[in-house]
Structure 1
Amino acid sequence: MPEIELSAGTIEYTDTRQGAGGTVVLVHGLAFDDSVWDAVVADLREDFRVVVPVLPLGSHRRPMRPSADLSAQGVADLLAEFLDGLDLHEVTLVQNDAGTAQLLPGVRDERIARLVLTSCEALDNYPPGIQGRTLVAASRIPGGLFLLLQSFRVPFLVAMGSSLGGMTAHGIPYERVRRWYRPLLTNRAIRRDLARFLRSTRKDTYLRAAERLRHFDRPALVAWGAEDRMMPPATGRRLAELLPQGRYVEIPGAGTLVPVDNPAALVGELRRFIGESA
């Protein structure tokens, strides 16, 4: 993978470097990497330049510097620095799961032409669901995060509704889970980075971001998983109502991991949204 040196450390990324329809930047969530977007990239790459950074949210393979700000806002600022570093303009920014992209409007949004938020942390839903609350609690107990992560070595435990099984409507092949969680299970510095994110992200982070979203005057799409239990659709509808040019759609047959559960429907909505707002 290509990589770029930023203030927090080295960031790997996918870049299709082609497509006349503009640039789409896809942002993954907590403890996922660029591969969560594989099906979406495969569909969009002929018509758009598609860029997917691997942010330091647990599945990254290059630890960040010890001094890096890895709070949610710090990671959002790193995303803005990434857009600057690649000199990307008029970007369609698409977020899933962790809400880092929604922290840029009103702060570092000069390169964003359109914003797409699929099922993600928002408003007062942080930490989200039993999964989010368990992660945050474990990060505050010495050795707690390491012990919790051992459950991801067991397919049966991963499939439970209180784990990744609760984030998807159709299940996830365990081979993908092994890819996502290998860095956390094998590298103490990666676990340190994730713990810093969990410990330093304040409960009111997304409420404060919501106030800034009220002034985001560019096209915005909120595409929520219709079967999402961790990020309830009611949260998505409230989020869309905040955005001056916001529109809300539900993706059928999808939980939190919309690009995994129903990538075809999501791509259809993305193409329609970009085409209508071009």
Structure 2
Amino acid sequence: MTRETWRDPRLGPAREVRLPAGPIRYHEVGHAPVLVFVHGYLVNANIWRKLVPLLADGYRCVAVDWPLGSHPVPMAPGADLSPPGIAQLIGDFLDVLALDDVTLIGNDSGGAYAQVAAADRPERVARLVLNSCETPDCSWPPGPGGFGLLKAAARHPAAHRLLYQPLRLPLTWRLPNTYGWLAKRPIDAQVMRSYVRPVLTRPAIRNDGRNAIGAVSPHFTRAAAERLRRSFDKPVLLAWAAEDRVFPLDHAERYAAALGAELRTIADAYTYTAEDQPERTARTIGEWLATA
């Protein structure tokens, strides 16, 4: 196992499924009601490594490596990694594994993809948890932290490759426009290597990430939000970092009101609440699931 493909054993054993767009690797642990986790750009299933063990006693936790630049297996050539394409991928994953009555949990841009998936393919989704992510008031990529540069650089392969080279230096991992405004505290070095090394060392993985980030737009989240508001009649929770510096809390308040959803805050955390406050995140989600 390389530094790029290492996953925390608490996530459960690695499995792989082949979908029309290509192979997807995932981990699962636990039994009974299904939680499917959707991470954001340039992280992988390791983002859930602290949270999953806290929920696995009561739930079947499925943590997927989505093809967003830190995944272990490249997608098929020509795979559609636009937001609708990723939403289709999520739906295909649920179909192939025959996962029903699913609680879809999305964080960071994973929350944006989860919204599009729930709006496009709601038949297997019973509940939706949006955990510090894009709302209709947000740009995608989000403006705070300078993340818009990611999409701009994706227009050209050379610019995209050059943009990520500073991540070779651990000192850059805490900058606002890398991970410093996403995690309040430093992330374990072994985990960080699993995030950054694929985009630095594997051209096929870097190309998948480029195709994904180059296609994002707030148009997709705003359209999905409108469809969710009009026709998604299932429980929705907004579980938000109280100190989020990327996705403002007041945006979450307006979105929760528009959806008729519940908003719960998680103290002492930035966007990656499962990293900064796994116990509080688990309690927030678990208490809501018990009544949803």
Q: TM-score range by the shorter chain?
A: over 0.9
**CA offset at residue 138 of structure 1?**
1.4
SS at match of 1:117: strand
CA distance in structure 2 between the aligned counterparts of 1:141 and 1:233, rounded to whole angstroms: 34
Aligned counterpart, 1:180: 195
Q: CA 1:175–1:131 in structure 2 vs 1: closer, same or farther (change >3 Å)?
A: farther
CA distance in structure 1 between the aligned counterparts of 2:118 and 2:157, rounded to whole angstroms: 35
CA distance in structure 1 between the aligned counterparts of 2:254 and 2:85, rounded to whole angstroms: 25
Question: Of residues 110, 114, 127 in structure 2, which corresponds to 1:101?
Answer: 114
- Is the CA contact 1:165–1:172 (under 8 Å) kept in the aligned structure 2? no
Structure 2 length-normalised TM: 0.90
Aligned counterpart, 2:255: 239
Question: Of residues 6, 9, 13 in structure 1, which corresponds to 2:26?
Answer: 13
1:233-278 deviations in Å (ceiling 9; x for gaps):
122112212223x10011101111111011111100111111102x
CA distance in structure 2 between the aligned counterparts of 1:155 and 1:200, rounded to whole angstroms: 28
CA distance in structure 1 between the aligned counterparts of 2:113 and 2:152, rounded to whole angstroms: 20
Q: Are 1:88 and 2:102 matched, yes or no? A: no
Q: Are 1:111 and 2:124 matched, yes or no? A: yes
Identity of matched residues, %: 38
- Is the CA contact 2:38–2:64 (under 8 Å) kept in the aligned structure 1? yes
Q: Are 1:37 and 2:48 matched, yes or no? A: yes
1:188-237 deviations in Å (ceiling 9; x for gaps):
01111111112222331111111012021111100111111111112211
Q: Are 1:149 and 2:164 matched, yes or no? A: yes
Question: Of residues 234, 244, 252 in structure 2, which corresponds to 1:228?
Answer: 244
CA distance in structure 1 between the aligned counterparts of 2:81 and 2:128, rounded to whole angstroms: 22
Runs of 4+ in 1 over 4 A off after TM superposition: none
CA distance in structure 2 between the aligned counterparts of 1:132 and 1:85, rounded to whole angstroms: 34
Q: Are 1:67 and 2:82 matched, yes or no? A: no
Letter in 2 for 1:2: R
Aligned counterpart, 2:275: 260
Question: Of residues 217, 231, 253 in structure 2, which corresponds to 1:202?
Answer: 217
Question: Of residues 211, 216, 222 in structure 1, which corresponds to 2:232?
Answer: 216
Residue-pair matches, total: 274
Aligned counterpart, 2:4: none
Letter in 1 for 2:141: P
SS at match of 1:217: coil
**CA offset at residue 72 of structure 1?**
1.4
Structure 1 length-normalised TM: 0.95
- Is the CA contact 1:12–1:53 (under 8 Å) kept in the aligned structure 2? yes
Cα RMSD of the aligned pairs, angstroms, is 1.3
Letter in 1 for 2:264: V
Q: CA 1:59–1:178 in structure 2 vs 1: closer, same or farther (change >3 Å)?
A: same
Letter in 2 for 1:204: H
Letter in 2 for 1:45: A
- Is the CA contact 1:210–1:242 (under 8 Å) kept in the aligned structure 2? no
Letter in 1 for 2:220: T
Moved more, 128-137 or 223-232: 128-137
Q: Are 1:127 and 2:141 matched, yes or no? A: yes
CA distance in structure 2 between the aligned counterparts of 1:202 and 1:141, rounded to whole angstroms: 17
**CA offset at residue 131 of structure 1?**
4.0
**CA offset at residue 162 of structure 1?**
2.5
- Is the CA contact 2:240–2:265 (under 8 Å) kept in the aligned structure 1? yes
**CA offset at residue 142 of structure 1?**
4.2
CA distance in structure 2 between the aligned counterparts of 1:197 and 1:159, rounded to whole angstroms: 23
Structure 1: tracts of 5 or more residues without a match: none
Aligned counterpart, 2:17: 4
SS at match of 2:145: helix
Aligned counterpart, 1:160: 175
CA distance in structure 1 between the aligned counterparts of 2:277 and 2:191, rounded to whole angstroms: 16
